[in-house]
Chains A and B, each alone.
Chain A
Amino acid sequence: MKLAAVTSAELRMLPQIFIAFLKIGPSTFGGGYAMMATIEKEVVERRGWMKTEEMGDMVSVAGSAPGGVAVNSAAFIGYRLGGVAGAIAAVSGITLPTFAIILLLSLTYSFFKDYVKVQAALKGIHAAVVALILVAAWKMARASLFDTLTYMLAAAALAVLLLTNLSSVWLILGGPAIGMAVMGIRQSRKFDVRTEPASERSEKEAMLPEYYI
């Protein structure tokens, strides 16, 4: 792990990394899919910091760690370019604009929120966000539900969420535990160990996990 030994070349990279992601930050609207294209353009095409082939590694890491795919990708590229300091520079860069924008938006709203029409507009937006969540749920379901166990897991988890106050920690730890146990048994009995739905999508599309928003 590159931690202590920061070379002077890496040190000079830090402001550049910060600025590159500062520019990407505001364009992370709409989440995963749209943002990957922006990052690829800035980091691969414009600055030549990474090769297109490395994008696959980035997506794999960014998708397996918790958190938004935008912040995770920034951390990955920043780390590749400038070690831990680079990762911090990239994450700060991509976070600062959205941090400022959401605070400004919220302040503007609290200034106007006594107007009935502003509240009505926000209610409309609330409904739209619910629609966006449903679209994300649909995409995630298509990528995750394909055999009896996955359907049962999703149904059981939804029932737990709706009917109990059990902490979600147990679900997030329990799902992988069940998955690993079942796959372990299937493997030892020489059964099929498919862990992903059969995909008709091309390699390129499969590389961009649009369900991570």
Chain B
Amino acid sequence: MLWELFVIFFRVGCLAFGGGYAVMSLIQRETAGTGRIGIERFQEIGALSGMAPGSIATNSATLIGYEQAGLAGAVAATTGMILPSLILVVLLAAFFIRLHDRLSVRSAFYGLRPIITALIVYAAISFGFGAQTESGQLFGWETLGMLLICGGCLLAIVKYKLHPFGVLLLSAVAGIVIF
């Protein structure tokens, strides 16, 4: 079980381009998508992970590991998630500092970045509304409340430049009021 968790998150860690939010869709497909955990539980884990410092993806890995196999599971999943970054950064730092000057590397990222954009958009859709779609309650008060809070947060971040943590706190209050 521990090895399995390590392998799943090692695989995710190897593909974790674009940082936290893009990786959430990979994690969702590898865990909730394969029935390892429920989609609603995944949303809970994601919300908790978003509140803590650090990458939302690594935090989710920690919590999923913990849920599946206790503290050892949390360590296995987190290590699996981080190890590929550690190995690759050390290799890059040792051999390819000036990687970004090469056209081949820039071309690869030229092709990769749109994919990451899609992954992040997908993360917003599936993480946001996956459970509601699955239970057939996509068009209800719950979704409306969510959209309201979500829109308010966007306004707060983009227009009023509020710090993300302040946004999370306010939306917790809004959640208590609405739901």
Give A residues with C-beta under 8 Å from B. 1-2, 25-32, 57, 60-62, 64-72, 75-76, 79-80, 84, 87-88, 91, 95, 97-99, 101-103, 105-106, 109, 117, 119-137, 140-141, 143-145, 150-151, 153-158, 161-162, 165, 167-169, 171-172, 174-180, 182-184, 187, 193, 195-196, 211-213
Q: Does B110 contact A (CB under 8 A)?
A: yes
The A/B interface has a contact count, at CB < 8 Å, of 361
Q: Is the interface of A mostly helix, strand, loop or mixed?
A: helix
Chain B contact residue count (CB 8 A cutoff): 105
On chain A, the residues within 8 Å of B119 by CB distance are 157, 161, 168, 171
Q: Does B72 contact A (CB under 8 A)?
A: no
Cα distance A94–B133 in the bound complex, in angstroms: 37
Q: Does B93 contact A (CB under 8 A)?
A: yes
Most buried by B among A57, A109, A126: A126
Asked if B103 and A182 sit within 8 Å, CB to CB, the answer is no
On chain A, the residues within 8 Å of B89 by CB distance are 61-62, 65, 67, 72, 75-76, 79, 87
Give B residues with C-beta under 8 Å from A. 13-22, 24-26, 29, 33, 43-59, 62-63, 66, 71, 74, 78, 81-82, 84-86, 88-97, 99-100, 103-125, 127-128, 142, 145-147, 149-151, 153-154, 157-158, 163-165, 167-168, 170-176, 178-179
Q: Is the interface of B mostly helix, strand, loop or mixed?
A: helix
On chain B, the residues within 8 Å of A117 by CB distance are 176
Known: A60-B99, A87-B90, A124-B174. A103 touches B62 (CB 8 A): yes
**What would be 7 A-B contacts, judged by CB atoms less than 8 Å apart?**
A61-B96, A66-B88, A71-B86, A101-B54, A123-B47, A131-B157, A193-B103
Asked if A168 and B25 sit within 8 Å, CB to CB, the answer is yes
